[in-house]
């Protein structure tokens, strides 16, 4: 159990966790509100993708990894910057770790406030879109609206490839758009929830695929505000360069070097 003094060390980092590089979209927003905060960005590239795994697999993996990371790095706060991991394992992680935990949930509430046609699309992984958590968000915030969901898991690989500087077939984005548009009522979609932290990294490509008149919404800015609120008044000091932490050593890490540097992550380690 971490003591109060440990949490309040000025160089105690924020730990942002995702299955891959998607959470960099959250980190970018955190940097805007907490530029002085030391950060560890942890990517479970050894377990990617999460969207095709069972709930039990995701829960066990996320709880186990975050337990090890909390013990080793003593973060002041952990952000699960992954919709799939949050919708499945957030409660369990909060039960086992004595650290403030911020999760990521599909931005259905702001989307419901933004839509003018009343028809909202939601792109997520297969694991995310089938969760009861999403059903409850829809029931609470999107009453009277139509919410159409599509499992666009291949966008995760597209985002990872893009950040490695590799070309991505535009057909990937066309399939995601068609997956929503081709459903009954899909032609009326004017707002799309990007319910995976990888997907905002592809906003330009998705906007082109959907065409004009569609706005996109994700939860990154709201997550950053929540982290700022929970750490308000705490001292921040970066005594060492921010860290990118991976769970598997592979060739893709070298290809990500420029992306990590651009995100302010100066060091790379493998857990």
What local confidence, expressed as pLDDT, does residue 8 receive?
A: 66
What local confidence, expressed as pLDDT, does residue 224 receive?
A: 97
What local confidence, expressed as pLDDT, does residue 252 receive?
A: 86
Buried b / exposed e along 182-212 (16+ C-beta atoms within 10 A): ebeebebbbbbbbbbbbbbbbeebbbebbee
Q: Known catalytic residues? A: 82, 196
What local confidence, expressed as pLDDT, does residue 2 receive?
A: 43
3-class SS of residue 198: coil
List, for the chain, all residue ranges whose pLDDT scores fall below the cut of 70. Answer: 1-8
Structure pTM? 0.92
The tokens for 18 are 């995702």
What DSSP character marks residue 73?
H
What local confidence, expressed as pLDDT, does residue 6 receive?
A: 44
DSSP 96-144: H--S-EE-----HHHHHHH-SSSEEEEEE-HHHHT-HHHHHHHHHH-TT
List domains and CATH numbers for the chain: 4-104+221-270 (3.40.50.1860), 108-218 (3.40.50.1860)
């Amino acid at each position: 159990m971490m003591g109060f003094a440990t949490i309040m060390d000025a160089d105690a980092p924020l730990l942002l966790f995702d299955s891959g590089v998607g959470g960099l979209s959250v980190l970018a927003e955190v940097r805007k509100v907490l530029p002085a905060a030391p950060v560890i960005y942890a990517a479970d590239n050894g377990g990617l993708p999460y969207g095709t795994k069972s709930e039990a697999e995701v829960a066990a993996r996320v709880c186990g990894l975050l337990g090890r990371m909390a013990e080793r790095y003593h973060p002041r706060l952990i952000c699960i910057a992954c919709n799939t991991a949050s919708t499945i394992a957030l409660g369990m992680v909060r039960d086992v770790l004595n650290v403030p935990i911020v999760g990521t949930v599909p931005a259905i509430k702001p989307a419901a406030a933004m839509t003018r046609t009343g028809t909202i699309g939601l792109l997520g992984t297969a694991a995310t879109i089938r969760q009861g958590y999403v059903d409850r968000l829809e029931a609470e915030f999107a009453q009277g609206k139509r919410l159409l969901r599509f499992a666009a898991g291949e966008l995760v690989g597209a985002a990872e490839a893009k950040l490695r500087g590799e070309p991505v077939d535009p057909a990937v984005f066309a399939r995601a758009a068609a997956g929503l548009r081709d459903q009954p009522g899909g032609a009326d979609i004017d707002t799309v929830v990007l319910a995976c932290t990888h997907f905002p990294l592809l906003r330009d490509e998705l906007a082109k695929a959907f065409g004009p008149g569609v706005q996109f919404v994700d939860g990154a800015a709201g997550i950053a505000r929540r982290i700022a609120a929970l750490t308000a008044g705490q001292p921040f000091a970066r005594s060492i360069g921010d860290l990118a932490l991976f769970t598997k050593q592979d060739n893709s890490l070298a290809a990500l070097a420029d992306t990590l540097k651009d995100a302010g992550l100066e060091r790379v380690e493998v857990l």
